[in-house]
Structure 1
Amino acid sequence: MKVIYKITYPNGKIYVGKDLTDSINYFGSAAHAIIAADFTREQRRDFTIRREILWESEDASDAEVNAQEIHWIRQLQANDPAIGYNRWPKLKLKSEATS
């Protein structure tokens, strides 16, 4: 099973990723330094994250999974630093999109 998932951190920010093996123990490859900067040492001592499956397929190609990942990152605005931890695809600001 191939899945697209959303991780929600205690501060409400999200990370959207893909898992081609449906591993229950996989929580993505978000940049740890970016996430760590949002939490104090005390907050890091005990916290809970949530992992939700947004989309799944038994027979999608890897290319289809990649397209779904991009779709969900954009749909949920996970690449907006105020909302999420995805840094790709690069967020297009409205002024950039119209120029």
Structure 2
Amino acid sequence: MNVIYKITYPNGKIYIGQDGTDDIRYFGSPNREIIEKDFTREQKSDFKIRKEILWESESASIGEVYQMEFKFIKEFQSNDPNKGYDRNPRFKE
């Protein structure tokens, strides 16, 4: 099962990603350094994130999965550094 998911962090910023295994334990691979800069040590000691499945398909090609991922990144503007942690596609102001 291919899924596109949205991760919401405590500061409201989001990350959109994809997973070809629909693994409940997988929370993407955003840039760790960028996220860590947004939180204090105290904030990191009690940290909750939310994972939502936005889209799923058992039959989509990998190209279709990437298209859907980029569609949601643009829709939610998660590539805007003020709103999210996606860095591709590059945000254009």
Instruction: Sort the TM-score into its range (normalised by shorter chain).
Output: over 0.9
1:70 alignment counterpart: 70
1:50 alignment counterpart: 50
Secondary structure, counterpart of 1:56 in structure 2 = strand
Structure 2's unaligned 5+ residue stretches are none
Please show how residues 9-48 of structure 1 align to structure 2 within 5 Å.
9-48=9-48
Structure 1 residue 87 and structure 2 residue 87: aligned? yes
Secondary structure, counterpart of 1:26 in structure 2 = coil
Deviation at 1:92, TM superposition (A): 1.2
Question: Deviating runs (4+, > 6 A) in structure 1?
Answer: none
Secondary structure, counterpart of 1:88 in structure 2 = coil
Looking at CA atoms only, which structure, 1 or 2, has the larger radius of gyration?
A: 1
Deviation at 1:42, TM superposition (A): 0.4
Equivalent pairs: percent with the same residue? 61
TM-score of the aligned structures, taking structure 1 as reference length:
0.93
Letter in 2 for 1:24: I
Structure 1's unaligned 5+ residue stretches are 94-99
Secondary structure, counterpart of 1:28 in structure 2 = coil
Higher helix share: 1
